[in-house]
Structure 1
Amino acid sequence: MSEEGAGGGARRSGGFPSPVLSLAQMLTSSPGKTPISLLQEYGTRIGRTPGYDLLKAEGQAHQPNFTFRVTVGDVSCTGGSHSAP
């Protein structure tokens, strides 16, 4: 996912820019967190809450496959997942 449209870093009261880590940096520095929780944190840091849209749910009831679109600001990505057996 790209940070295009994210703008510059947030400002602290001292006037210095607050560093905003990229999603790749967050994944590397937080190995115990899920990508969804990191995306929520990233959205919070840049001031844009991620939006999730379920595009498709298919498969058998005990093994469904899901396709979602997530949007953060002007950036949208589509991904899929299946439930673990």
Structure 2
Amino acid sequence: MSEEEQGSGITTGCGLPSIEQMLAANPGKTPISLLQEYGTRIGKTPVYDLLKAEGQAHQPNFTFRVTVGDTSCTVLFLP
């Protein structure tokens, strides 16, 4: 997860499977739950920092910096 990432098109950039591949292999799990499980496996809790919240109240967009150990990336979350 070393490159900038957005929405569900997250790629890891370091030889790990894409989020689409991980979700397909783990039906019913969200990207956040997969990240939490990954952090647990490697002994590093993910840290989420809200960088920006924008958009209309009924359709907000959030940009987060997610850090797991020494790796961090920017993620756009569209609820």
**Normalised TM-score (structure 2):** 0.70
Q: 1:82 to 1:27 in 2, by over 3 A?
A: closer
Equivalent position SS for 2:37 = helix
| 2:48 alignment partner in structure 1 | 52
Shift in Å at residue 61 of structure 1? Answer: 1.0
Rg larger in structure: 1
Mapped pair 1:70 → 2:66: yes
**What are structure 1's unaligned runs of at least 5 residues?**
5-21
Equivalent-residue separation in structure 1 for 2:56 and 2:78 (angstroms): 11
Cα offset, 1:31, TM superposition: 2.2
Structure 1 equivalent of residue 25 of structure 2: 29
Amino acid at match of 2:41: R
Task: Report the secondary structure of 1:33's partner residue.
Answer: coil
Change (3 A) 1:71 1:49: same
Alignment length, in residue pairs?
A: 66
Which segments of structure 1 move beyond 6 Å, counting only runs of 4 or more?
none
Structure with the larger RCO, 1 or 2 (CA within 8 Å, 6+ apart): 2
Secondary structure of 2:60 counterpart? strand
Aligned 8 A contact 1:65 1:82 in 2: yes
> In the alignment, what sits opposite 2:36?
40
Structure 2 CA distance, aligned partners of 1:26 and 1:42?
Answer: 11
Q: Report percent identity of matched pairs.
A: 75
